């Protein structure tokens, strides 16, 4: 989203704030988010469906920082959660319980009880076993759980294998052919109320054809269930809309909205969407500092202070982020091919090969674009390096929304057992 990250006077800014100034004040690696980029993406999605938009439940797993969630909640967004912790985060950030959906393949009894206690909108059921457990727990506490079965439509999305979730052999959801009988069971069970159908076929999808196939199968199921006397009133379409990491074209929101309207025409359904990456990925960047440029084995390695502990997507998925210097290159700068790597003692700690970048030296700043999703939320303390701070920028204002954690703070919650305090007793 170039309008929110642009060069002015030769340096890259997030909205009105120079990234170099943020790096100087808060250190690197550093995650920086544009509040107005998040708002713009949410509004564009809602406006594409006007005048009757669905409930947009932000998928917290993409970025669960409270300030990010609050930014979206203030616009009217709900929350798609996959754990008790995420339910608590959503509530802490101001999301009404009536706009929270609870998904996930392994809900514990404690998590189910919490969801019922909070009075959330819907629990998405992943299996027959989970349905029975929810019914039993809800009955025991004198509540009725609003549920939607997550159906697996057996649609292969055009995305990375590790983030495709709607194929028959994936671990997610209930086989579409088995769903009617399980809905019949749900309709007869005390403690549950089958209110909806849910599906989610994967993430980072830019081709709309898989959505069309999956939604068509879900709508057929809704019609069949209603014909059986099960009053389904809600269709939860999941998320999955892709973003630009490189030269991909942007998602066509109006075409997507038109597809959904065609698929659901005449059904009078409440619609729910669960975007995560789509709302926050392009609204965030990772700023890193150069340690040095190394030449070995006939290759150039640009070594950074950010690594796979900071941004794991390249190591985990083979993902490739656009990387650029914070200072705008000058016409006379020498452009070199180099492999961009981190400081971690793993051969997989590489962000990518053959990036074309100007010759850079110690202390120079680089920015990883499209890092607002699955960045800091998946970071770790591996190698006991300082954990990045997170900063939210809103026009000319900015605030640290998660402080940098130094090794001493990382160790603060650890304990040495008494018998190890005395080396002579070990």
Instruction: Name which of 173, 181, 179 is nearest 103 in CA terms.
Output: 173
DSSP structure class, residue 312 = -
Integer Cα distance of 407 and 196 in angstroms? 46
Contact by Cβ (8 Å): 196, 237: no
Find the catalytic residue in 50, 227, 296, 345.
345
β partners of residue 205: 241
Class of residue 356 by CB neighbours under 10 A (exposed 0-12, middle 13-18, buried 19+): exposed
Secondary structure of residue 339 in the 3-state scheme: strand
Q: Which two tokens stand for residue 309?
A: 């502990």
Lay out the sheet containing 5-8: strands in order across.
Answer: 5-8, 11-14, 17-18
Integer Cα distance of 25 and 361 in angstroms? 20
What are the backbone dihedrals phi and psi of residue 140, each rounded to the nearest 5 degrees, phi first? -65, -30
Active-site residue, 345 included: yes
Integer Cα distance of 292 and 164 in angstroms? 38
* 89 CB-near residues (< 8 Å, 6+ apart): 60, 64, 66, 69, 81
Bridge-based pairing of strands 365-368 and 284-296 is: antiparallel
* 138 CB-near residues (< 8 Å, 6+ apart): 112, 116, 144, 145, 191, 192
Q: HEC string of 120-134?
A: CCEEEECCHHHHHHH
Q: List residues with catalytic annotation.
A: 345
């Amino acid at each position: 989203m170039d309008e929110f990250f642009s060069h002015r006077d030769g340096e890259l800014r997030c909205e009105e704030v120079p990234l170099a100034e943020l790096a100087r004040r808060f250190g690197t690696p550093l995650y920086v988010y544009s509040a107005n980029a998040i708002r713009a993406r949410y509004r564009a999605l809602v406006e594409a469906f006007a005048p009757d938009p669905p409930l947009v439940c932000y998928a917290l797993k993409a970025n669960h920082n409270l300030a990010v969630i609050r930014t979206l909640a203030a616009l009217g967004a709900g929350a798609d959660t996959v754990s008790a912790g995420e339910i608590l985060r959503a509530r802490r950030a101001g999301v009404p319980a009536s706009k929270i959906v609870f998904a996930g393949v392994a809900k514990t009894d404690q998590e189910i009880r919490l969801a019922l206690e909070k009075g959330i909108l819907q629990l998405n059921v992943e299996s027959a076993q989970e349905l029975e457990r929810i019914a039993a727990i809800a009955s025991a506490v004198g509540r009725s759980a609003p549920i939607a079965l997550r159906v697996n439509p057996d649609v292969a999305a055009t995305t990375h294998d590790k983030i495709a979730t709607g194929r028959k052999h994936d671990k997610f959801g209930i086989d579409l052919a088995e769903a009617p009988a399980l809905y019949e069971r749900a309709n007869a069970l005390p403690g549950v109320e089958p209110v909806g159908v849910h599906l989610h076929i994967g993430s980072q999808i830019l081709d709309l054809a898989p959505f069309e196939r999956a939604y068509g199968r879900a709508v057929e199921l809704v019609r069949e269930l209603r014909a059986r006397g099960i009053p389904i009133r809600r269709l939860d379409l999941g998320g999955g809309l892709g973003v630009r990491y490189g030269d991909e074209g942007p998602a066509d929101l109006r075409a997507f909205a038109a597809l959904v309207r065609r698929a659901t025409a005449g059904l009078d359904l409440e619609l729910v969407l669960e975007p995560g990456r789509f709302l926050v990925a392009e609204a965030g960047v990772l700023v890193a500092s150069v340690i040095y440029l190394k030449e070995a084995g006939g290759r150039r390695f640009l070594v950074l202070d950010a690594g796979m502990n900071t941004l794991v997507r390249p190591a985990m998925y083979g993902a490739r982020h656009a990387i650029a210097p914070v200072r705008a290159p000058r016409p006379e700068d020498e452009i070199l091919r180099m492999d961009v790597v981190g400081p971690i003692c793993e051969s997989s700690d590489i962000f990518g090969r053959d990036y074309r970048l100007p010759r850079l030296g110690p202390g120079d700043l680089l920015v990883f674009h499209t890092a607002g999703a699955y960045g800091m939320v998946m970071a770790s303390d591996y190698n006991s390096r300082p954990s990045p701070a997170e900063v939210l920028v809103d026009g000319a204002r900015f605030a640290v929304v998660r402080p940098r954690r130094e090794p001493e703070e990382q160790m603060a919650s650890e304990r040495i057992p008494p018998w190890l305090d005395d080396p002579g007793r070990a």
